[in-house]
Amino acid sequence: MRLALFEPDIPQNAGAMLRLAACLEVPVDVIEPCGFVFSDRRLRRAGMDYLDRVALRRHVSWPAFLAARGDGMGRLVLLTTGAETPYVAFRFHADDVLLVGRESAGVPDTVHAAADARVHVPMAAGMRSLNVAVAAAMVLGEALRQTGGFPEEAP
């Protein structure tokens, strides 16, 4: 299981997702360009000392990310409000890459088209979207639960 951030533009959200990934031992791909300098103090403040513990790969662009994935990698599962399938009805695989979009704009149509699957978080009528870090935590938690991928707790 991996978490991929497509061109994140709010450092606090990126920091929170990196901290989440560190705590759950889930590697992260950051697809640039970011809407902030990656060493931004707000990113470090949100990620705290957990940032040094996350397995992180940065990619200079979407095409670079696709090239780095190569053949035989797991499915690309996009979290999007435009999906028909709720994440709780989706069967995750242990090698899936969960992709979240930019807070301000989601992902472009080319990224939607490249996804192997698309899922959404069910919400009350009239609500547009959750914070991207909250949505990532919800879906990643379910994916790890389904696949038995949570890290072992220390005694």
DSSP-derived pairing of the beta strands 56-59 and 28-31 = parallel
Percent of the chain predicted with pLDDT > 70? 95
Rounded distance, CA 86 to CA 71, Å? 27
Q: What is the pTM of this model?
A: 0.93
Q: What is the pLDDT of residues 17-58, one digit of tens each?
A: 999 999 999 999 999 999 877 776 776 776 677 888 899 999
* Residue 97 parent element (H or E): strand 97-100
Distance CA 136, CA 88 (A): 13
CATH fold of the domain at 2-147: Alpha/beta knot (3.40.1280)
Distance in angstroms (rounded) separating the CA atoms of residues 15 and 42 = 8
- pLDDT tens-digit series, residues 69-106: 876 679 999 999 999 999 999 999 999 999 999 998 99
The pairing of beta strand 2-6 with beta strand 97-100:
parallel
- Map out the domains of the chain as residue ranges: 2-147
Report yes or no: 147 and 1 within 8 Å, Cβ to Cβ. yes
* Cα angle value 56/115/72 (rounded, 5°): 65
